[in-house]
Amino acid sequence: MTRYLARRILGVIGVLIAIAAVTFTIFYVLPSDPAAAACGKSCSAERLEAIRAHMGLDQPLWRQFWDFASGIFTGRTMGTGQYALHCGFPCLGYSYENSESVWSLLMDRLPVSASLALGAAVLWLLLGLSAGVAAALRKDTFTDRALMVGAVAAASMPVYFTSVMLIYGLIRVAGLLPYPQYVSLASDPVHWASNLLLPWIALAILYAAMYARQSRSSMIETMAEPYIRTARAKGLPRRTVVVKHGLRSAMTPILTLFGMDLGGLLAGAVITESIFGLPGIGRLFYGALSTGDQPVILGVTLLAATFIVVANLAVDLLYAVVDPRVRL
Amino acid sequence: MNKRTCTALAVSLAATLTLGAAGCSGGKHTGAGEEGGKNPAVANVGKVVGGTPVKGGTLTVLSNQDFTHLDPARNWVMSDMDFGTRLLYRTLVTYKAVPGTGGGELTPDLATDLGTSSNGARTWTFHLKQGLTYEDGSPITAQDVKYNVERSFSPDLPGGADYAARYLTGAEGYQGPAQGKHLDSIRTPDDHTIVFELRKPFAEFPNATVMPTFAPVPKAQDNGPKYDNRPFSSGPYKVESYQRNKQLTLVRNTHWDPATDQVRKAYPDRIVVTMGLKATQIDDRLIASQGADASAVSWGALRPESASKVLPNASVRSRLLAESTNCTDMVQMNTGRAPFTDVKVRQAVMYALDKDAVLTSSGGPAFNDLSTAYMPATLFDGKQPDTLKIPTTGDVAKAKELLKEAGKPGGFETKMTVSTGDKGRAEAIQESLAKAGIKVTIETVDPSAFYATIGDTKNRTDVVYTGWCPDYPSGSTFLPFVFDGRYIKDKGNQGNQSLFRDDATMKRVDEISAMTDAKAASRAWQQLDGEILAKAPTVPVLVRRWPLVLGTNIAGGYGQTSFGGQLDYATVGLKNPAQSGN
Amino acid sequence: MTTTLVKPPAPVAGRGPWQLARAELRRRTSVKISLAVVVLFLLMAAGAPLLGALGGWSPDAFDKTAIDPYLGGQPLGPLGGISADHWLGVEPVTGRDLFARVVYGAQVSLLIALTATAIVVVAGTAAGIAAGYFGGRTDTVLSRLMDLTMSFPSLIFMIAMMSVAKDVNRILLMTAVIGLFGWPGIARVVRGQTLSLKHREYVDAARVGGSGPWRILTRDILPGVAGPVIAYTTLVVPGMIATEAALSYLGVGVRPPTPSWGQMIAESVSFYDTDPMYFIIPSTCLFLTVLAFTLLGDALRDVLDPRGSRT
């Protein structure tokens, strides 16, 4: 177990370094000049050179990458004299746009994206799994068909379509909810929830549909397994068979899916956040992209990749708990 | 305004929104937006909306973006300068806080007067008022003003206005005060006197000292790039919290003394700027003006697609500001590279362009005025001349004829760079030029990178779509910037985007600049405008307005002409502060 | 919608598995309907110039008579300006014909989605077979590459790559970028299938009979994985369409004035309440296409790959 864990964590670090290197190369090789963007409306060649030097853009690519990668652990000092900025571990550099440390920007936005992702996840798991299991247990009945038709239709609707419909229906016409404007959970839980309700629903509809389809087929497969038949033959109550034996192993593929989805969403749902005007990581990324704010882009990409690989690792470890057949 | 647009408007105002106007026919479009009297959007132009505010309450500003820079050394965006200099810091001189053309007049702010010049307008002296303090009660000194001007030279703090760099003696190669070096051309004989030595005469120097570059920053508070996130206040408000791209909260600066300030009224107790909202949702919220939104204003201009929710509705229209930005949008061609070296080709573009279509995609005649000359109407005593008499929808036949004369009967292909927000306008240009055989490929660039992209004269596209705004009401801040070939730079080029090098024009610019009679100079600029237009280095397209819908509880609101029609934050407040909640 | 796992009827002598599958598919109404929708949209995409000419408007032509410039360019007439002249109404502001834009948009959207799918399927199948059949170091390297690709935050990367590349053919770039992140899914399925086929008797027989690896791969393994691949392919298409739409929606897709459904929906979102038809028409097209491909894929999977190979 310990050896397995050590190997996996080493793998995770390798993947992250690879992703950082790829991102770095894409943004630093391609012809975009953040120094020119920062220089503003009127910019002399001399001033531009000074700004490039200040940003460290006059260094060779490998050097810039090394400074970045080692800086994450050891911290960096940027600029000189009175204006020097020191950033400690974990240093992801400073935004070109607003001189905020990338790490603090990410940590500032994370609660928003996490609120959105976790709230939506609770909703979609509840909806998706119950619909999927119900359909599987009533296979080939009207309930099954109706649920699955609904699921396939919901899964075919792009999230921006559902979002706009929700905004129109619940805010503009019915006036039931306010326009979403993020409030932190700590400061006002009621506002937090009521403002996030629509984005939750919008995201949950899409994912619930996918999970309903997935859990249905997984459940049907499991219920056809010999050991379930054995359990039934033993005379165990149907409820016990379904919940303790069926559901448990049917959840294995769902867990994989969930790890990937949640990992991806934690690092920002770009479209949902932008439609609902939520200041999460997705919007931070989108904004940084349009202004060519490379340190922020790099930071978000790394964070997103971290979430995905860590979620995968967590899922693999959870298998051991959920599925007694899996040994690490 | 002609018959067709008239009917269309009348019917649509009466009909429900989705039905629109169906029974409109005939008539030729002319520049409908120019005749302001009938434009439903301009009823409040030059007026104050909502009466006089009552002190107190929270003013909410809804924004789809963050400020570019609030650090006074770096702040050079119209709206941001309005916000910064009206609320957070004071400059030597500022604009009067009145609606209409009066907003273009100067008034002393930190200084006791508009400055005195000597040595043939090469030396400028300002005296600071007594009793001015920062947010911590410490005194504002002339050295602090000097210090901030020096900061604007620092490569760590890019983005600010470059008047200081352009005029101060010994400014070449100066890299800011961080290394301990200082500019000798700014002298501070005592705490309340500051003297600027310029390398060439500059009679309009006081106009430049309204720029945030000329606001005070105490050396002790200067933390370089981080200052942008927490400017130290010399104005009526100070920063309570600022989360970039999320929220900025301003509270009263109790050390600001209204007795020293004739401009800022500082009515609200708090100002909260919420950023990163969807632009169309902001419009919807302000149109509805429910609850706390009644005490809110929009930071950005009304979206064109919201026009149909505002214009037919008299009560919403009564809360609409639509001051002109005074900036002329132009299609600018690279006159230094084929095929645009040929004046016939440039004229073909001028004739082919359907300005009317661009106007529609820009929000229609209610929010834009067609442009038939380069300088905006304010520099033509209120109305631009139409010397070429090209139909507003273009003249494709004439354009094709010109192309044939230029030896390009089949047209040609070219590329045009536009800022992301101008994509719709660009598509209208693309479509109308295609009719004459000119095939345009559009490159969209994010606003933040736009000036850097088009400023790279070697690598940019041959056509760019961008405008120019006079910094103050004088032809000297327009034509020399846009058409004087001596201002062209390889990188960071601005203004002269047509790379127009015309000896006759440059000679005339020098002659007019030397004129002492302001009236005669003004007439001469107007005449020169027409002469350049005939050479067609750029095509003037339109002058935008800055439409803003105010919440129902907003008072003292008007568009400040000197800040591109943005709401004047010096005087805005609430009718009923109790209603604003928190 | 019947995603049942009914066992195919007992094999009748003289009918191969493909014929059986066809018979099974023909039985289902959902298949017929979704196939009809898919074919309709494919025809529409293929015949875009023809249909456009029939409608009488080019997708880029402005029509100023169809809009009211004073109301922010609202279409004149009810339902977003639907008339004999403009069959699906017009785009607000520009007055461009919506029918022409939807039809040409279908061409762009489907072209990108289908080409990207082709890339994904070819690359994924090749990688999967290679990993599964050769095993050892090949398998390790390819599997690591799959893991790595799947760890990339793909949407974030796609947006990033689309937005930095300027001077390239947008359609080509978009296809490549979407394809780049899609292949590991199918490669895993194929790898699993290949592993299980590798030691079947008939493959061993071929090997003993002296067939080279190339011959075994193409003659014995490839047909064996064809069923799941076809089913998976159909299920990949809707994902690709949705991804193209999402990228165009975020404004990093095709260059103006080229229409694509995602781009049209993005532009129309801000008009959803003032000109609902403008929003509804491209959204419906997108919805129907994705739905039809999903239903078709479901059915194909049930029939061609009844057990497993899904993860």
CA–CA separation, A178 and A196 (whole Å) = 10
Residues of chain C numbered 149-178 and touching chain B (CB < 8 Å): 166
CB-CB: which of C79, C93, C255 is closest to B361?
A: C93
Structure tokens at C63: 């029509």
Per-residue pLDDT tens listing for chain C (311 residues): 444 444 444 444 556 777 878 887 888 888 899 999 999 999 999 998 998 888 888 888 888 888 888 887 888 888 888 888 898 999 988 889 999 999 999 999 999 999 999 999 999 999 999 998 888 899 999 988 998 888 888 888 888 888 777 667 888 999 998 988 989 989 988 998 888 888 788 888 888 888 888 888 888 888 888 888 888 888 889 989 989 988 988 888 888 788 999 899 988 988 888 889 999 999 999 999 999 999 998 888 888 776 544 43
The strand pair at B320-333 and B463-468 is best described as antiparallel
Per-residue pLDDT band for A325 (boundaries 50, 70, 90) equals: low
Whether residue B467 lies within 8 A of chain A, CB to CB, comes out as no
Judge: A179–B66 Cβ closer than 8 Å, yes or no.
Answer: no
CATH label, B107-219, candidates 3.90.76.10, 3.40.50.150, 3.90.45.10, 3.40.30.10: 3.90.76.10
Assess contact for B96 and B102: CB atoms under 8 A: yes
Chain A residues in contact with B173 by the CB 8 A cut-off are 46
Chain C residues in contact with A305 by the CB 8 A cut-off are 151-153
Question: What are the residue ranges spanned by the domains of chain B?
Answer: 107-219, 324-544
A252 vs A122 pLDDT, higher one: A122
Structure tokens at B84: 């910064």
CA angle B280, B284, B288 (to 5 degrees): 170
CA–CA separation, B498 and B488 (whole Å) = 9
Chain C residues in contact with B364 by the CB 8 A cut-off are 69-73
Whether residue B249 lies within 8 A of chain A, CB to CB, comes out as no
Q: Which uninterrupted H or E stretch holds B464?
A: strand B463-468
Cα diameter, chain C: 81
Judge: A158–C165 Cβ closer than 8 Å, yes or no.
Answer: no
Say which amino acid occupies A198: L
Q: Which uninterrupted H or E stretch holds B522?
A: helix B518-535
Phi, psi of B143 (to 5 degrees): -65, -35
CA–CA separation, A126 and A169 (whole Å) = 23
The per-residue DSSP string of C2-56 comes to ----PPPPPPPTT--HHHHHHHHHHT-HHHHHHHHHHHHHHHHHHTHHHHHHHHT
Chain A residues in contact with C247 by the CB 8 A cut-off are none
CA–CA separation, B273 and B19 (whole Å) = 37
Domain B324-544 has CATH 3.10.105.10: yes
- Give the Cβ contact number of residue B260 at 10 Å: 15
Chain C residues in contact with A260 by the CB 8 A cut-off are 150
* Cα torsion angle, C201, C127, C38, C281, sign: positive
List chains adjacent to chain A, taking adjacency as at least 3 C-beta pairs closer than 8 Å.
Answer: B, C
Whether residue A221 lies within 8 A of chain C, CB to CB, comes out as yes
Whether residue B281 lies within 8 A of chain A, CB to CB, comes out as yes
- The reply to whether ipTM tops 0.95 is no
Residues 6+ apart with CB under 8 A from A309: A12, A15, A16, A263, C151
Whether residue A284 lies within 8 A of chain B, CB to CB, comes out as yes
Per-residue pLDDT band for A316 (boundaries 50, 70, 90) equals: confident
Total H helices, total E strands in chain A: 14, 2
Structure tokens at A117: 């992702």
Assess contact for B255 and B157: CB atoms under 8 A: no
Phi, psi of B567 (to 5 degrees): -55, 135
Structure confidence by residue, pLDDT tens digits, B478-506: 999 899 998 888 877 888 999 999 999 99
Structure confidence by residue, pLDDT tens digits, B2-46: 323 333 333 333 333 323 333 333 333 333 333 444 688 888 888
Chain B residues in contact with A81 by the CB 8 A cut-off are 178-180
Name which of B138, B137, B43, B129 is nearest B90 in CA terms.
Answer: B129
Tell me the HSE value of A277 on the side-chain side, using a 13 A CA sphere: 24
Per-residue pLDDT tens listing for chain B (582 residues): 332 333 333 333 333 332 333 333 333 333 333 344 468 888 888 899 999 999 999 999 999 888 989 999 999 888 999 999 999 999 999 999 999 888 989 999 999 999 999 998 899 999 999 999 999 999 999 999 999 999 999 888 888 887 888 889 988 888 889 878 999 999 999 999 999 999 988 888 999 999 999 999 999 999 888 899 999 999 999 999 999 888 999 999 999 999 999 999 999 999 999 998 888 889 999 999 988 899 999 999 998 888 888 988 999 999 999 999 999 999 999 999 989 999 999 999 999 999 999 998 888 888 999 999 999 998 998 889 999 999 999 999 999 999 999 999 999 999 999 988 898 899 999 999 999 999 999 988 877 678 878 888 888 899 999 999 887 788 888 999 899 998 888 877 888 999 999 999 999 999 998 887 888 999 999 999 999 999 999 999 999 999 999 999 999 999 999 999 999 999 999 999 998 865
Name which of B215, B196, B216 is nearest B116 in CA terms.
Answer: B196
Looking at the complex, report in whole angstroms how far the Cα of residue C160 sits from the nearest Cα belonging to chain A. 7
List chains adjacent to chain C, taking adjacency as at least 3 C-beta pairs closer than 8 Å.
Answer: A, B
Under DSSP, is residue B444 helix (H, G, I), strand (E, B) or coil?
strand
Residues of chain A numbered 163-202 and touching chain C (CB < 8 Å): 164, 168, 172
Assess contact for A163 and A175: CB atoms under 8 A: no
Assess contact for B165 and B234: CB atoms under 8 A: no
The strand pair at B186-190 and B116-118 is best described as unpaired
Q: Which uninterrupted H or E stretch holds B145?
A: helix B142-151
Looking at the complex, report in whole angstroms how far the Cα of residue C64 sits from the nearest Cα belonging to chain A. 28
DSSP C216: I
Which residue out of C64, C71, C274 would a mutagenesis test of the B interface target, given it has the greatest number of B Cβ atoms within 10 Å? C71
CA–CA separation, C5 and C293 (whole Å) = 19
Q: How far is CA B254 from CA B237, B282, C173, in A?
A: 8, 32, 57
> Cα B504 from chain centroid?
29
* Helix spans in A138-246 (H): 142-155, 159-166, 189-223, 226-233, 238-240
Chain A residues in contact with B490 by the CB 8 A cut-off are 45
Mean pLDDT over A17-22 rounds to: 86
Assess contact for B185 and B206: CB atoms under 8 A: no
Structure tokens at C68: 């009211």
Under DSSP, is residue A109 helix (H, G, I), strand (E, B) or coil?
helix
- Give the Cβ contact number of residue B56 at 10 Å: 15
Total H helices, total E strands in chain C: 13, 2
CA–CA separation, A69 and A49 (whole Å) = 24
Q: Which uninterrupted H or E stretch holds C187?
A: helix C170-198
Structure confidence by residue, pLDDT tens digits, A218-257: 888 888 888 888 888 888 888 888 887 888 778 878 888 8
Under DSSP, is residue B7 helix (H, G, I), strand (E, B) or coil?
helix
Structure confidence by residue, pLDDT tens digits, B207-245: 999 999 999 999 999 988 889 999 999 999 999 999 988
Judge: B20–C76 Cβ closer than 8 Å, yes or no.
Answer: yes
Chain B residues in contact with A94 by the CB 8 A cut-off are 225
CB-CB: which of C94, C255, C274 is closest to B308?
A: C274
